[in-house]
Amino acid sequence: MFEGFVYVRACLYPEGVVLPAGDAAVSVWDRGFVFGDGVYEVVRAYGGRWFRMREHLRRLRRSLEETRIGFDEVDVVEKAAGALQRVQELEEADGLLYVQITRGAAPRSHAFPDPPAEPTVLVALTAVPDFSEEVEKGVAVVTREDFRWHRCDIKTIALQGNVLALQEAKEAGAKECLFVRDGAATEGSHSNFFGVKDGVLRTHPADRRILAGITRECVLELAREAGVSAEEAAIGREELAGLEEAFLTATSFEVVPVVQMDGRPIGDGKPGPVTRRLQEAFRECVRRETGGA
C-alpha cells in the first residue's frame, strides 16, 4: 500500500526530505486533511523526461494564487521530482508525478491561520497504469448533472464531487462521468471532453466550469496544426446523442475515445478518424518534446 518514496515538506520536515512513503507523517490537523484546503498537479514522464512541466507548474502557481496559499517555491517540485527519480531508479522510466500543496497544519478554524502556517508539500512518483485497452478500443461514459462547485478551473484536492460521480459511472458500467451544467457538457470527473459535430472538433471553453487541461490545450494546438477545424464552444446536451465522435483527454491516459454515452453508441460505436488522428499527433508531439513514448 505504501510503496515507493515521497518527498515531504511538513511540520516534522521543515527542510523537506525524501523518505519511504510508509514512514512519512503529516499532522492530523493539516488543512488538506481537515478541509480539503489544498491544490495539486499530476505530471507525466516519458522515458524519464517530463512532458510540459513548465505548463503544469504555471497551472500550479495559478491554483495557489486563486486559493491564496502563500507558497512561492514551486521550483522545489522539479528538484523533488529529480530526487524521486534517482532514489527509485526511474531516471529513464515513464511515471506519474503527484504534487500536492496544502495550506499547512493549524488548529481547526475555517479562516486562514494567522499567522500563516507553512504549506505542506507532498510529491510522489508512481508508475503509469496501463491504459492501452481504453486508448485502443475506447470507453463508455454516462452523463450526470454537474453538481460540483463553481471554481472547477482550480485544481483543488477537494474532489468529493468528482469521486462520487466517477463511482456512479463505474457502478453503471462506464469508465467516466461526463458532467452537464446548464444544458452543456463541461468535462469528465478527471478528464476534459471533446466532441466532433458536423466535422468540427469542439470542447468547452476554458472558463470557471472546467479545468484547463494541459492535454486539452495540446490537443487543440495539434488539431490546428493538422488542419482539423476546432472550436472552444460548449456542446449542448441535446447535441450529445448526434456527435460523430467524442474523446477524453488527461495527463494520465492522453487521448481516449468515447464510443458509448448513456448506453447509446457514439457514431458507429468505434473510435473515429479525427480521434485516431489526434491520438497519433499527440504521441508524435510527446516524442518530439521528450524523445520518449
Residue 187 as a binder of ligand PMP (CB under 6 A): the answer is: yes
Residue with Cβ nearer ligand PMP (211 or 259):
211
DSSP letter for 92, please: T
- 235: enclosing H helix or E strand: strand 235-236
Rule CB under 6 A: is residue 52 a binding residue for ligand PMP?
Answer: no
**Three cell numbers, residue 2:** 505504501
Distances (CA, A) of 36 to 33, 57, 105, 115: 6, 20, 12, 20
Residue 31 to residue 25: CA distance in whole angstroms: 14
> Can you tell me which of 21, 42, 87, 93 binds ligand PMP, judged by CB under 6 A?
42
244 to 263: interface string for ligand PMP, x by CB under 6 A: -----xxx------------
Select the residue interacting with ligand PMP from 211, 243, 255, 256 (CB under 6 A).
211
Looking at beta carbons only, is 113 or 161 nearer to ligand PMP? 161
Residue 156 near ligand PMP by CB under 6 A:
no
For cell 522539479, the residue is: 78
At 230 the three-state DSSP class reads strand
Q: Choose the catalytic residue: 79, 137, 155, 270.
A: 155
Q: Is 270 a catalytic residue?
A: no
CA gap 251, 129 in Å, rounded = 12
Strand order in the sheet with 38-46: 13-20, 5-10, 120-126, 95-102, 38-46, 49-50
Shortest spacing between CB 214 and ligand PMP, in angstroms: 4
**Cβ at position 44, least distance to ligand PMP in Å:** 8
Nearer to ligand PMP, 45 or 214 (CB): 214
Q: What is the DSSP letter of 126?
A: E
Which of 64, 214, 228, 243 is the binder for ligand PMP (CB under 6 A)? 214
Is residue 192 a contact point for ligand PMP (CB under 6 A)?
yes
Q: How many residues bind ligand PMP (CB under 6 A)?
A: 14
* Residue 179 parent element (H or E): strand 176-181
Closer by beta carbon to ligand PMP, 100 or else 106: 100
The length of the chain is 293
C-alpha to C-alpha distance for 16 and 117, rounded to whole angstroms: 15
Among 67, 156, 191, 275, binds ligand PMP (CB under 6 A): 191
Instruction: List residues binding ligand PMP (CB under 6 A).
Output: 42, 162, 187, 190-192, 211, 213-216, 249-251
Residues designated as active site: 155
